[in-house]
Amino acid sequence: MIIGDAKNRTLVPSVAIAGVVTVAGLALPLDPALQYTLIGALAWAIAAIGLDVLVGFTGQVSFGQAAFVAIGAYATSAFRLSMGLPLVLAVVLGVGVTGVIALALGSVVVRYRIFGIATATLFFGYVVVTVLTGDTFSTVFGGANGLAVPEFAGLEAGGKGYLAVTGVVLILVVVATCLLNDSQTGRAFRMVKTNEAVAASAGIRVRQVKMISFAYCCVLAAIAGVLYSGVVGYLSPEGFGIKQSVNIFAMLVVGGAGTVGGPILGALLVTILPGYLLRDGHVSAVVFAAVLLVFLILLPEGIYGLVHRWATVLGRTVPGLSAAALRSRSRWATAGRAGPRPPAETPPDRRSSGSDTGGLALEVDGLQVRFGDFVALSQVDVRIESGSVHAIVGPNGAGKTTLLNTVCGLYLPSQGDIRIFGSSIRGVKPHRIRDRGVVRTFQTPAIVPDLDVVANVKLGLDTDLKGSLWTDLLGPLATGGRERVLESRAQWALDAVGIAARRRGMLARNLDLSEQKRVELARGLVGQGRLLLLDEPTAGLSADEMQALAQTLRQVHRDFGLTIMVVSHHIGFIRDIADAMTVLDYGRVVGTGTPDDVLARADIAATFMGVETAPLAEAEDL
C-alpha cells in the first residue's frame, strides 16, 4: 500500500531515519562484520529509494535495478582501472554512463504499460549479467573472475570513514528525492501513477515523466553501485542478478513503498537480517521469505506506514503530543493549511485572448467513433459558441462520454473532424490539446488520492508554468517563486469552488465525493483552460450539492468567460446553466437547440420519459 504523505511532511522523518542510522553506526562500537553489512545496507537503501520513485511514486515497475547498480559499479571501476582516471571523474563518468544507458532503455520501455516494462527490464538485467560474465569484455570487466575495486581515496572499506561518506550521500539523496517528490515533477509522477490517460488529458507529457522517473531511478542505482563497490572491494556479476533486483523490491515492500524513509528501513532489515543475523544460508532464506510474506499479507504499508499509523493514533490520543504535532505541522504547512495565505492572484481572464469573445469554440463535423465493429458515435455534428454553456444529454450508452473523450484526444475518430477554436485536432496528442485550452473533468473524479488538495489543484497549472527536473531537485531555493504563484492561484480556484480552507491540507482521498468533484473543477479552472469539458459533474450529488455546483459554474462562467461543455442526466441542472443542448441517442444526434426548444419537442420528450420542467431541487434523472 502506498502511504504518500502530504507536502514536505516526508522530509523531516526521512532525513531523521537516515541521520539516526548513520550517527548510531558512527557512535556505536560495532562488530566489524555488522559495520560492513550496515554500510552495504545504506548503499542498497539508495538503490531502493530510486526504485521507489519509479514504483511507489510513478506506478511503474523495474526488475533491472540490480543491473543498473552493476553498471554504475563496473563502469566507475573500469574508468579507474583501465583508463587510470581519478576517483571523482570516474564516479561522474560512471554515473553519467548509467544515466545515458537508462535514457536509451527508458525511451523504449516507457512506451509500454507495466507488464512490458517489467519484462523489458528483467531481460535487460539478464543481458547485463551475461555481458559482465562473458569473455568478450573480460579484459575490462574481469569476466566470471570478477573485478578488484581499488581503494576509495584512502578510506578503509568497512571503516567508520566509509560509513560516514555513505551516510552523507544517503542523506543528500533523501533530501533531493523529497524535494523532487514535492515538486511539479513529483506531482506529475503521482498523476501518471493514478491514471496515465487522465494525466495526458491534464497536459502531462506522460512518456517524458516516465522517462525522468526511470532515469532518476537508474542514476540512484549507479550511485549505490559506486558506494557498494567500495565497501565490498570486489565485483562479481552474480551479485547483481534478478535475485538482487527482487531483494531491492523486497526493501520497498518491507519498508513501505511510496515513502522516502521506508526504503531505508527496508534496506536495513532485508540486508542485515540475512546478511548478519542469520548467516546460515538455508535458515536465512526461510526466515527471509517468512518475513516478506508477513509484510505482504499483514503489513502492506510496511514499517514506515505502521510507525506513521501509530504516531497518528498517539498524536490523537495524547493531547500534549497532538499539540506538538500541530505546531510542527504548521511550520511545514503551506498557506491554506495553517499559515497565512499569500494574496490570491487575479486569475487569467480567458476573454482577453480574443477568440473566446465570438465565433465557435468547438466544431464537431460528421464524427464517427468505432470500438472494433461497434459504432459508438455516428455522423455527430455539434457546434458550441465561444463563451456559452452547452449541455450534452442522452440515455446511458448514448455516447456522451465517448464524445468528450474524443474531443480531448483520448479516443481517435474513425471519420469526421473536430476543430477547437478553429484548429483541427486531427493527430494532435491529448497533452497538446490541453495546451490549446481544453480542460477536462471525469465522471469519477480523477484526483490524485495521495496528494493534498492544494497540490491536486496545482496540477492544473503545472503545464502552463513549466519547471524543470534540475530546478525541482534544488527545491524551494530554485522553485520558491513559481510555487508561490501556483499556491496563490490554487487557493483562488479553491475559493471559487467553495472548498473550506481547513480542508485544503488534507490528502484528497479523505474528501467526500462532492468535494472531490469541486477539487477537480478547481484544477480545471486554475490554468489557462478556455474550453471546459465536464463529464457528469452532478452524478452522485444531493439536490443541495447540485444547486451549489450550478451556482459555482454560473459564477466562474460569468467571471472568466469560459466555454463549458457539460454532460449531465439532470434536466433541472441543465435548464439552470445551459444556453444550448445537444441530445444523443444510440450515438446519433437527435436534437439540438436551446434547452426549452429541445425539451418542448414531443419526440425528445417521448425518447426521454420523465423529463419535466421541474425546478432544480426536484430535478429528475433522464
Contact footprint for ligand ATP (CB under 6 A): 371, 374, 376, 394, 396-402
DSSP 274: I
Q: How far is the CB of 593 from ligand ATP (least distance, A)?
A: 19
Closer residue to ligand ATP, CB minimum distance, 398 or 425? 398
Closer residue to ligand ATP, CB minimum distance, 75 or 392? 392
Query: Starting from the edge strand earliest in sequence, which strands make up the sheet with 374-385, in order?
Result: 374-385, 360-371, 415-420, 423-424
Q: How far is the CB of 401 from ligand ATP (least distance, A)?
A: 3
Which cell numbers in the block locate residue 1? 500500500
Is residue 393 within 8 A of residue 597, CB to CB? The reply is no
Closer residue to ligand ATP, CB minimum distance, 224 or 376? 376
Closer residue to ligand ATP, CB minimum distance, 271 or 401? 401
Q: How far is the CB of 8 from ligand ATP (least distance, A)?
A: 39
Q: What is the maximal distance between C-alpha atoms in the chain?
A: 91
Taking phi over 0 as left and psi of -120 to 50 as alpha, with beta for the rest, 4 belongs to left
Is residue 559 within 8 A of residue 573, CB to CB? The reply is no
Q: How far is the CB of 373 from ligand ATP (least distance, A)?
A: 10
Q: How far is the CB of 440 from ligand ATP (least distance, A)?
A: 14
Q: How far is the CB of 568 from ligand ATP (least distance, A)?
A: 9
Closer residue to ligand ATP, CB minimum distance, 77 or 538? 538
Give backbone dihedrals phi and psi of 516, rounded to 5 degrees, phi first.
-60, -40
Closer residue to ligand ATP, CB minimum distance, 195 or 353? 195
Taking phi over 0 as left and psi of -120 to 50 as alpha, with beta for the rest, 21 belongs to alpha
Which cell numbers in the block locate residue 292? 516478506
Give backbone dihedrals phi and psi of 374, rounded to 5 degrees, phi first.
-80, 130
Judged by DSSP in three states, 527 sits in coil
Q: How far is the CB of 115 from ligand ATP (least distance, A)?
A: 19
Burial string for 572-591 (b: 16+ CB within 10 Å, else e) reads bbbbbbbebbbbbbebebbb
What distance in Å separates the CA atoms of residue 205 and residue 433, rounded to the nearest whole number? Answer: 12
Closer residue to ligand ATP, CB minimum distance, 431 or 569? 569
What distance in Å separates the CA atoms of residue 462 and residue 486, rounded to the nearest whole number? Answer: 8
List the one residue out of 11, 122, 12, 118 whose CA is nearest residue 55: 118
Closer residue to ligand ATP, CB minimum distance, 400 or 503? 400
Closer residue to ligand ATP, CB minimum distance, 65 or 201? 201
Give backbone dihedrals phi and psi of 367, rounded to 5 degrees, phi first.
-75, 130
Is residue 421 within 8 A of residue 528, CB to CB? The reply is no
Q: How far is the CB of 16 from ligand ATP (least distance, A)?
A: 47
Tell me the angle at which helices 453-462 and 184-194 cross, rounded to the nearest 10 degrees.
100
Q: How far is the CB of 59 from ligand ATP (least distance, A)?
A: 21
Q: How far is the CB of 255 from ligand ATP (least distance, A)?
A: 38
Closer residue to ligand ATP, CB minimum distance, 335 or 404? 404
Is residue 368 within 8 A of residue 377, CB to CB? The reply is yes
